[in-house]
Structure 1
C-alpha cells in the first residue's frame, strides 16, 4: 500500500476555511477547500493526528479509489475491484454509508446495498467467507460519495463523528455542536487571548460547551484524547505503533497543559436545571480545576476585572422561534449590551446569533461578522470590542407622566425608534389625562397611527400589551422586522415601564377559532377595574386578553340600563358585559359561549365581584342554543366572531352570511319593550336591509367609542334593535 493517501475531511458548512488552516497546521499537504470538506494528501501519521487533534472536522476519510459510475453495475464493479483483504478480515463486520445520487441511483439505501454486495462478494470469492453487517460498531466503516458521475470510495478513520468528544452526555434544549463551538472560539481569537493569559466568560452557558472547548484549547488538550473506539481500531491497515506514539505525546501535552495555573474561565446560567449537567460535562472533560459554573441571571453576570484582567465574552443567546418572542429577545440583547458596557470594558466579545438584527440592538458596533450555519439555520458571529469608541450613542427624551419610575442606562434608540417614542409620549400625555379623569385603567394608547409601525399598543395599568399586525406582502420583511424592533426598543423608554412588562403578539387575519387558541402556559391573571367592577385579564396566554377594550362604552351602557332586567349575553367570551349587567342590578343574567375555558373565566369574573346566584352560564353553539331556548329577556347583547368553525359546533358560522338569522332567533326571545345590542368588528360588514323592515334599528357606533378608539372608528359597529 502507498504510504501517502488522499484524505477527505468533512465539516459543517461554513467551517471549510478554518478547517483548511487547521489541517495544514496538522500536516495535510496540497490541501484544498470544497463545500463542507477539505481534501489533501498525507501519510498515516498525519491521518491519525487529524483524528486526534482536529477541533473542526466531522470525519477523516481515507480515499481508496475514485472511478466513474454510469449505472448501478459500474458502481458495483468499481467497488469490487478494490482488494478488500487489505482492509477487512473476511469474517469481520462492516457498515456502509452512501451519499449523493445520479447514474440511475437515486436512493441512498439502494446505493449502500450495492457497495456492501460488492465488498461481500469480493471477500467471499477469495476466502469462502463473508463479513457481516454491523451498523453500530463495525470493524470497518466504508463511505462512498457519488458526485457528478464519479464515485469517491473511502474508509472512515474516525468512526462516529469527531464533534462527539465524549464529555457531553447531558445537553440542553438547543446545544451547539462541539466543533461549531470550537470554530466560534477560533474566529473570536480565543487561542491568542488564552496564550496571553486572558479570561473567558459565557453569561448564558447552558451545559457549558463553549467553556469546555475553550478549556481544552487553553490547556493544550487534544479534543478526542479520551475517545476509546476509532474507525481505524480494527482496520487491517492500522499501524498501532504510530498511533500509540502520537497518543502518548498528546497525553503528555495534556498533562503539562493541565498542570499549568488555570486560566479564569467562568459560565453563568439562569436555568437551575442545567447547572449540574454542565458541571458533569466539565468533570468528564477533565477540566474541573479550570472551569467554574454559577447560577445567575444575565444581570448578575460579573466577569473578572481585577488586576487589569481582560478577555473574551462569548455566548449564543436564544434566537426566538415563537410569535411574541421578539419583545423578550430584544430586551435580552439590549441587556446583554448594557452589561457588556457596564462590566466588561476593554474585553472582546463574540455573539453567535440566528437573529443578527437583534445583535445590532446591543448598542456596540461589531468590527467583524462571519456567516456560519447552526445545522441548516444561517447565523452570524458578531465580534465586538467593548470600548467607548465602539458604542452606538443615542438620545433619550424624558417621558411625560411615567407609569413606573425606571433608573437605568439611557437607551440608545435609532432615528425611527426615537420618532416612535415621541409619538407614544404625545399620545400618553393626551390619553393619560383623559383616562385619569374617567377612571379608566386599561386603554389603547396607539393603533397604527404611523402606518409604517403597524402595532396596536394597549396599557393595562403598568403593563403594555403589543399586537403586531401582520405586514402586507408588499412590505420588505427585513424592513418590517427593523421597524418592529425599533418600536419595541422605544416602548420602555417612552413609557417608563420595565422591559419584562411588555408582551407582544402577532395578530393575523382572523380565521376559525383563532381567538380561542392558546399562546402560552403562564396562567398569570391580573385584576383590573372598570366602571366599579373587577375583571381578570391574561396578557400572555391567549391572542386576546379577556377584555375587549373597544367595548368599554357598551359595557357601561349595559350597566346603566340593566336594573331589574333579564339579561342575555350571546358569544359572551369572558362575560365582562354580564358582570356589568349584574353590577347594574339585573334581575338575572344568562351567558352563552362555546368555550369551556372562557366560561370558567367568566365564572371567575362573576365570583370576583360577589355574583353567583341567578347568574346562568351555558356552554353551547349559540344558534342551536337559541333555537332550543324558550326564555324571555329584556336586554340582549350579541358580539359574534367574524368567523367560527369549532369542532364543537355543527357547520361554520359566518357573521355576514348568518347575522340575519342570528338576530331573528334572538329577537324571538326579546320581551316587549326590550332592547338588543348587536355589534361586530368585521370591517366589510353590511347589515341585512330586510332586518329594518322587521325591527326598529338605529346604528349607535359613534356612541360606543371612547377617545382611545376615536382615531379608529372602524374598530367595530354597533346597533340598537327593538320590536318598535
Structure 2
C-alpha cells in the first residue's frame, strides 16, 4: 500500500475524501487543503485520471524530521533516485513551508536538487538536468511542524487544468472548484434524472463543461495531453492504459445515450466565443446550447424542474456594487417567476448581494475562489421569501401588458425596509418638484439620512445618481448597515427610473490632508450639468467629491447677479464653479486661488465648457492664507469657502477654519475695494464668528438665505456671512 496525499482548494476536503474513498483509498484523513490516505498504484492512477476535485496527487517517497540543511540532505538520501529517474532525465522541485534554518523556499529546492544529483554522481552516473516547465518527474517537499515530507507529483501539473480551457473570461472559476459547486448543488443526481441545467452568466463556460463531463461520465484526465506519471521510472504503462481504455469506453457510452439540456447565456460576445472554444475542446459543443442574453430577462424554463447554477460578478470595487444589486435582485425575481420549481446554486464572495435573491437559502457552503472567501448559496425557489410590491404614489400597483410583464416583475420586488425608503424618496421628490421645475434645477439633494437607519445622502446630477454612505456609528451592526445599503441600492433605480449603471456609490469618511484629492477610480468620466446659465463639469466616479457643492447653489447664483463689471476673487476656489458664475455674470476679470493642481485643472475644464477666454481668468496654485497676506491687488467681489481643516504637505502649517478665520477674513478685507463685498462661508458645524470682526466690519449673517430647499432639513450644512467695510462718517 502506498501513502498518498491529494491537495485541493480549501473547503473541498470533505468532498475530496468521499471521492477518494470511492476510488478505493483506505485510512482517508482530512486536513486543511489536503486529504491523506493509502492505496495501491491503480488507486493512485484512478485519482489522477478521474478526480474532479484534486489539485495534485502526491506519492510519499520519504518522511523524516527536518530542521536544517543536514537533516534535509538526510531526508533526500533516504530515496534511491535511480528507481524514479534516469541520469538523462529531468526534474523540478517545489517547496512549501519553512523552518528557522530553511527560510527561503527557492534555496531549499536547490538543496533538494543538489542532494539528488550528488547521489547520481556518487554512483558514477551523469547528473540529471533541471526543467521547471516539463520535467520527467516533479517533486514536492512540504515542511511543517519540524517534519519534511518528500513526494512525487503523479499528475505533473495541477489537475484542475483539464486541458479544454485555453480561453477564459474575466476571473474564471478553476475547474475543480466548478466541479465542487456542481456536486454541492446536487447536479450528479439531477443529471441522472435527466433534468436540465442553466448558467445565466456562463462566462467562458467552465460550469457548463464540468456539468457536461459529469453527465457524460467522462474522466477529466482523458482531456490532458500528458501526465507526470508517464515519464516516471516506477510507472506501469499496462495498468495506466487499462484504466484509460475503461474511461474512454465509459465516456463513449455516456455521450451516446445523450446528455440533459445544458444551457449557457451571457451578454458578452467575447465570453461566449471563449465558451464555444472550451466546450469544443472538451468534446461537448454539440451538447450545450449557448445564447446571447441578459440574466435579468430569462426565457421560460425548458422543464418543470432543473438546476440554475451561476457565478455572477462579486463587485471588487465599491463603484461596481449598484448595478450588481439590481442584477442579483432581478435575476432572482426572474427565476422565481419562471423557474419556481428549480434549484438555484449561486456562488459569490458578497453575501449581501446574494440576499437580494427573493428566497431564503436552504443551505450555505463556505468555499474559496483562490484567496477570496466565498459562499455557495443553495435556494429552493419554491420556498419563496415574501416581498412587497412597489406601488405608485396613489398606492396602486402599476399594470403592464403581457409582453412586458416579466420585465415589470423583474424590477418590482422590494423588502419592507427598501419599500420604506422608496416611499420617502417619492415623498421628497414630490415635495421638491415645483421648485425644481420653477428654477430649472438639474442637480439637487433628494435625501440626506432622513431615516436614521438609511444613513446616506442621495444627490441627483441630471440623469445620474450620486450616493454617499455615511460611516455608521459603532452601535450599529456593520452587517445590518450593509444590508440597508443594499436595500437602498435596490430601491433607488425603482423610484428614480435610472439605470443601475448610472448610480455611483461612495463611502463618506472623515477626510484629512490630501485624502479629498485621492482618486477612487480612473474612469475620467466628466460630464456637464446646468446651473443657471453655467455648464459645470462634474465627475461622479473618480473622487470623493463630485466637483460641485450643491448646498452653495444660491450663493453661486447670487455671485452671478452681483458680478457685472466687478473684479472677482475666488479663494479656496475648488473646481471654480463660483468663478464660472461670476464670469458669465459679466465680471471684468476673475482670479481663482487654490492649493490643489487637480482643482485648478478642473476649473480649466469648466472655462472651456463655457467658452470663456482664459486670459481674463487668472488661476493660481497657492496657499490662500499666505497668498492674501502677500498680495496687493484690489477686488470688488470676493468669495471664500475654506475647508474646515487642512494639513496638506504643500501648506505652511495647518489650516483650522475656527482658529484661522480671523486672519483669513482680515487678509481678504485688505484686498476688498471700499464698496466691495466679501462672501465668507464654511462647513464647520460649530463655527463661531469672532466678535471683533463684527466690530471692525459690517457683517450680515445670510446663512438662512443661502441654504436651498433641498438642504432645508440640514440647517447646519454650512454658515454664510457677508462682509463690507464700515462707512466712515
TM-score between the two structures when normalised by the length of structure 2:
0.90
Deviation readout 1:297-355 (Å, 9 max, x if unpaired): 323443652xx364222111111122233322211111211221233333222100101
Q: Aligned pair 1:362/2:357, yes or no?
A: yes
Question: Does the alignment pair 1:312 with 2:312?
Answer: no
Report the CA distance shift for 1:627/1:11 in structure 2 as closer, same or farther (over 3 A): same
Distance 1:483 1:240, change over 3 A: same
Answer yes or no: is the 8 Å Cα contact 1:400–1:425 preserved in 2: no
State yes or no: 1:22 paired with 2:23.
no
User: Considering only aligned residues, what root-mean-square deviation do their CA atoms show, in Å?
Assistant: 3.0
Does the 8 A contact of 1:570 with 1:622 survive in 2?
Answer: no
| Structure 1 residue 109 displacement after superposition | 3.5
Report the more deviating stretch, 412-421 or 675-684.
412-421
Equivalent of 2:706 in 680, 704, 707: 704
1:266 to 263, 277, 280: 263
Which range moved further: 360-369 or 678-687?
678-687
Cα 1:275–1:617 change in 2 (3 A) is farther
Which secondary structure state, in structure 1, belongs to the residue aligned with residue 375 of structure 2?
Answer: strand
Structure 1 pair 627–19 and aligned structure 2 pair: CA distance change class (3 A): same
Instruction: Identify the residue that residue 390 of structure 1 maps to in structure 2.
Output: 384
3-state SS of the aligned residue for 2:165?
A: coil
Q: What CA deviation, in whole Å up to 9, does each residue of 1:144-178 have, x standing for no partner?
A: 22333333222110111001112222223312111
The corresponding residue for 1:83 is 80
- 2:408 match: 408
Residues 262 and 289, structure 1, Cα contact 8 Å, conserved in 2: no
Structure 1 residue aligned with 2:376? 381
Report SS of the residue matched to 2:430.
Answer: helix
Deviation of the 1:20 alpha carbon: 1.1
Q: Which residue of 1 aligns with 2:484?
A: 483
Aligned to 2:641: 639
1:249 aligns with 2:243: no
1:717 Cα deviation from its structure 2 partner: 1.7
Conserved? CA contact 1:513–1:643, under 8 Å: no
Question: Match of 1:238, SS?
Answer: coil
* Counterpart-to-counterpart distance in 1, 2:338 and 2:598: 47
CA-to-partner distance for each residue in 1:615-660, whole Å, 9 max, x for gaps? 4141422536656755421111112334556677777655455544
Question: Unpaired runs of 5+ in structure 2?
Answer: 401-406
The CA deviation at 1:422 is 3.4
Give 1:80 shift: 1.0
C-alpha distance in 1 between matches for 2:574 and 2:100: 62
- CA shift in 2, pair 1:177/1:16, >3 Å: same
Q: Describe the SS at the equivalent of 2:79.
A: coil
Match of 1:199 in 2: 196
- 2:680 aligned residue (668, 675, 678): 678
Counterpart in 1 of 2:273? 276
TM alignment of 1:211-222, pairs within 5 A: 211-222=208-219
Range that drifts further, 173-182 or 678-687: 678-687
- 2:452 is the counterpart of 1:455: no
After superposition, the Cα gap between the structure-2 partners of 1:714 and 1:368, relative to the gap in structure 1 and judged at 3 Å, is same
SS in 2 for 1:224: helix
Separation in 1, partners of 2:551, 2:196: 56
Q: Distance in 2 between matches of 1:244 and 1:608?
A: 73
Distance 1:217 1:127 in 2: 50
Q: 2: CA distance between counterparts of 1:353 and 1:662?
A: 53
Distance, in Å, in 1 between the alignment partners of 2:164 and 2:304 is 29
Superposition pairs for residues 617-628 of structure 1, below 5 Å? 617-623=618-624, 626=628
Return the alpha-carbon distance in structure 2 between the equivalents of residues 40 and 224 of structure 1.
Answer: 21
Structure 1 partner of 2:404: none
CA contact (8 A) 2:347 2:375 kept: yes
Equivalenced residues, count: 717
Displacement of 1:469 in angstroms is 1.3
Of residues 153, 173, 177 in structure 2, which corresponds to 1:176?
173
C-alpha distance in 2, partners of 1:109/1:188?
40
Contact preservation (8 Å) 2:58, 2:154: yes
Partner SS state of residue 298, structure 1: coil
The range that moved more, 642-651 or 693-702, is 642-651
Q: Secondary structure at the match of 2:643?
A: coil
Kept in 2: contact 1:396–1:411 (CA 8 A): yes
- Given the superposition, is the C-alpha separation of residues 462 and 91 from structure 1 closer, same or farther in structure 2, using an over 3 Å criterion? closer
Deviation, structure 1 residue 462:
4.5
Deviates more, 1:253-262 or 1:155-164: 253-262
Q: Does 1:432 align with 2:433?
A: yes
Quote the residue 2:318 is aligned against.
323
Spell out the pairing of 1:414-563 with structure 2 (5 A cutoff).
Answer: 414-563=415-564
Q: Which moved more, 1:658-667 or 1:202-211?
A: 658-667
CA separation of 1:150 and 1:541: change in aligned 2, threshold 3 A: closer
2:593–2:619 Cα contact (<8 Å) kept: yes
Contact 1:90 / 1:127 at 8 angstroms: preserved in 2?
A: no
Secondary structure of the 2:28 match is: strand
Deviations 1:429-460 (A, max 9, x none): 33334434544333222212233321011233
Partner of 1:718: 720
Q: Separation in 1 of the partners of 2:548 and 2:90?
A: 68
**Partner Cα separation in structure 2 for residue 607 and residue 60 of structure 1:** 65
CA distance in 2, matches of 1:526, 1:87: 67
Distance in 1, matches of 2:658 and 2:275, equals 58
Which moved further from structure 2: 271-280 or 21-30? 271-280
Distance 1:67 1:197, change over 3 A: same
Query: How far has the Cα of 1:131 moved from its partner?
Result: 2.7
Describe the superposition over 1:126-159 as per-residue Cα deviations: whole angstroms up to 9, x where unpaired.
3344333332222222222233333322211011
Q: TM-score, normalised by structure 1?
A: 0.91
Matched, 1:667 2:669: yes
Tell me, in whole angstroms, the C-alpha distance in 2 between the residues paired with 1:717 and 1:323: 32
Map 1:544-623 to 2 at 5 A.
544-594=545-595, 598-599=599-600, 601-603=602-604, 605-606=606-607, 611-612=612-613, 615-623=616-624
Aligned partners of 1:92 and 1:603: how far apart in 2? Answer: 67
Aligned partners of 2:546, 2:616: CA distance in 1, in Å?
Answer: 23
Inter-CA distance 697–171: structure 2 relative to 1 (3 Å threshold): same
Distance (whole Å) between structure 1 residues aligned to residue 606 and residue 657 of structure 2: 27
The secondary structure found in structure 1 opposite 2:254 is helix
Cα distance between partner residues in 2 of 1:611 and 1:646: 30
- Distance verdict in 2 for CA 1:27–1:553, change over 3 Å: same
**Long gaps (5+) in structure 1:** none
Greater alpha carbon shift after TM alignment, 621-630 vs 85-94: 621-630
CA distance in 2, matches of 1:625, 1:256: 85
Do the aligned partners of residues 526 and 405 (structure 1) sit closer, same or farther apart at CA in structure 2, a change above 3 Å counting? farther
Between 25-34 and 66-75, the greater mean CA deviation after superposition: 66-75
Q: Which moves more between the two structures, 542-551 or 13-22?
A: 542-551
Aligned 1:346-361 pairs, distance under 5 A: 346-361=341-356
Q: Which moved more, 1:332-341 or 1:409-418?
A: 409-418
Q: Distance in 1 between matches of 2:75 and 2:582?
A: 86
Q: Is the 2:199–2:310 Cα contact (8 Å) retained in structure 1?
A: yes
Name which of 317, 334, 340 aligns with 1:339: 334
Alpha carbons 1:639, 1:679 under 8 Å: kept: yes
Deviates most, 178-187 or 62-71: 62-71
Distance 2:444 2:399 in 1: 20
Q: Structure 1 residue 690: deviation in Å? A: 5.6
Q: Does 1:112 align with 2:113?
A: no
